[in-house]
Amino acid sequence: MARLVIKDSDTIRKKVYHHIREKILKGEIPPRERLIETRLAREIGTSRTPVREALHSLELEKLIKSIPRVGYIVESMDQQDLEQICEIRNVIEALGARWAIEKAQKKLVRDLTKNVSRQEQALAANDPGGYVELDAQFHEIIAKLSGSDRLLEMVQTLRRHMLRYRMHVVYAMDTASRSIEGHKEILKAVQEGNPKATVDALQRHLRQAKEDILQYVLGDGRDR
Class of domain 79-216: mainly alpha
Question: What's the pLDDT at 222?
Answer: 46
Asked if pLDDT for residue 220 goes beyond 80, the answer is no
Asked if pLDDT for residue 170 goes beyond 90, the answer is no
Question: What's the pLDDT at 171?
Answer: 66
Query: Quick check: 54 and 20 in contact, CB under 8 A?
Result: yes
How confident is the model over 44-101, as pLDDT tens digits?
Answer: 999 999 999 999 999 988 889 999 988 999 988 788 888 999 999 999 999 999 999 9
Sheet holding 64-67, edge to edge: 34-35, 71-74, 64-67
pLDDT band per the 50, 70, 90 thresholds, residue 223: very low
Question: What's the pLDDT at 186?
Answer: 98
Asked if pLDDT for residue 205 goes beyond 80, the answer is yes
CA separation for the pair 211, 119 (Å, rounded): 21
CA separation for the pair 41, 116 (Å, rounded): 40
Ranges in the chain annotated CATH 1.10.10.10: 9-74
Question: What's the pLDDT at 133?
Answer: 86
How confident is the model over 112-151, as pLDDT tens digits?
Answer: 999 999 999 998 998 887 888 899 899 999 999 999 999 9
Q: What DSSP designation does 3 have?
A: P
Question: What's the pLDDT at 138?
Answer: 96
Question: What's the pLDDT at 207?
Answer: 94
Segment 188-212 mean pLDDT: 96
Work out the end-to-end distance of the chain between its first and last CA atoms, rounded to an integer number of angstroms. Answer: 38
Q: Calculate the alpha carbon distances from 170 to 13, 114, 125 in Å.
A: 31, 21, 14
Tell me the whole-structure pTM to 2 decimals. 0.77
Higher-confidence residue: 12 or 183?
Answer: 183
For the domain made up of 9-74, give the CATH fold. Arc Repressor Mutant, subunit A (1.10.10)
Question: What's the pLDDT at 224?
Answer: 39
Ranges in the chain annotated CATH 1.20.120.530: 79-216
Are β-strands 64-67 and 34-35 bridged in parallel, bridged antiparallel, or unpaired?
unpaired
